[in-house]
Amino acid sequence: MKASHLLLVLSVVFSVCFGVSQLLAAEKNIVLFVSDDHGCDAGCYGNPVIKTPAMDALAADGTLFIHAFCTTASCSASRSVILSGMHNHANGQYGHQHHYHHFSSFPKVKTLPVMLTEAGYRTARIGKYHVAPEEVYKFETVLKGPTRNGVQMAENCREFLAAEDERPFFLYFCTSDPHRGGGRLEELPGRPDRFGNTTKGYPGVEEVTYTMDEVIVPPFLPDTPACRAELTQYYQSVSRVDQGIARLVKILKETGNWDNTLFVYISDHGIAFPGGKTTTYEPGLHSPCIARNPYMKKRGVKCNALVSWVDLTPTLLDFAGATPKKPMYHGRSFLSMFDEENPQGWDEVCASHTFHEITLYYPMRVVRGRQYKLIWNIAHGLPYPFASDLWASSTFQDRYQQGPDTLYGKRTIDAYIHRPAFELYDLKADPDEVNNLAADPQYAEVLEKLQGKIKAMQQKTNDPWVHKWEYE
């Protein structure tokens, strides 16, 4: 064969291989949709009242992770974990980023958007950001959008999703719903927070409303008119998030990307009611996680693995084929479990909370297994601090004003505010975490074992608070 012919053949082979590699890369798009303060309140999670058809459809076409947990039920801190795979005590984002709180991650932290950019992805974010510094959490493109209107946010992503670009994309899509902060509804009991709902509504959104009689009051909350009134507003805000999901899915289909895009829906943490957000109780940590892998054969899988937000970055990097040789993160990929109901070796998660607002110092470290859960309240000598929006909530104030012995859900107000060093719960016998077994001699061995697990986690992840064991 002549040299010129050989060069031509090699050129064709190279072009074909290069084209195939580009095609394969283009078939690895990622969307991570993160709502704000949404607990596991959706039809697919067993709530028969709240209307979430898009979440339900996503679960039916993908995987519903029944036992998914954030590591800290605080906005900035949790988002830093989502985007780094590192506990916030190690990445430096101990609490809120905005205003005078001023927490930010260490410059050395390597985050998901940066690693995907290096792997050849075009990256974009829209909506709530709430982490710092920007060079650590760097996205190539920043899209604008009204964060209370997921439908409009989705439309604002259309051009990015439809762009003729050989590179695969990563879209980080974050609503402000269903976070509190939308004013007060004067005509309902307790003047409930509006959760972003307005009398005029939002363009493109068909508001779904609820009555106080139909909402379901979870056991950790008081069944009072004030609480039911706030739940109606929370439900409405969640249904608005759902319409944002529906529109984004529709646009992915219209732009020809649905069949090659991994779509993951989560919340940064649990519901924004006292007993949920900012706590390490189940309503604070237990969060929705619904994922659709377009290449998975099984559909409608309900996975029982215990997964954590430290596992998200490893999972998305795994899907992208961009797992680093020497990762900084603490989690592991659960991509292979998308089509498994009962995978082995996923029976424990850890949590680490330190701050919410700058004045709300209350470090907690947690290990949670299938049966037992241990919370270490490192600053147990202090009264439990309240996030400003939770303290002002009519749900809490309605109970608080009646005195310290008043029940708030299944705890007294006093028990909620003043906590012991250790809280040990048998989640099978006591799913509402009411009966603390830490001082029971019958559970001394369990307590010691779980204390060892917390300490081991702290040592492994370079937790500065590990030295606090010296004072216990």
Catalytic residues, by residue number, are: 75
Calculate the alpha carbon distances from 378 to 177, 454, 465 in Å: 32, 12, 8
User: How many CB atoms lie under 10 A from the CB of residue 3?
Assistant: 7
* Phi, psi angles (nearest 5°) of residue 119: -85, 5
Tokens describing residue 21? 């590699």
User: How many CB atoms lie under 10 A from the CB of residue 368?
Assistant: 26
Q: Can you say how many angstroms the Cα of residue 457 is from the centroid of all Cα atoms in its chain? A: 21
Query: Alpha-carbon torsion 151, 156, 157, 163, what sign?
Result: positive
Cβ-count burial 190-220 (b if 16+ within 10 Å, e if not): bbbbbbbbeeeebeebeebebebeebeebeb
Q: What is residue 193's DSSP assignment?
A: B
Q: Which of 431, 428, 424 is nearest to 453 (CA)?
A: 424
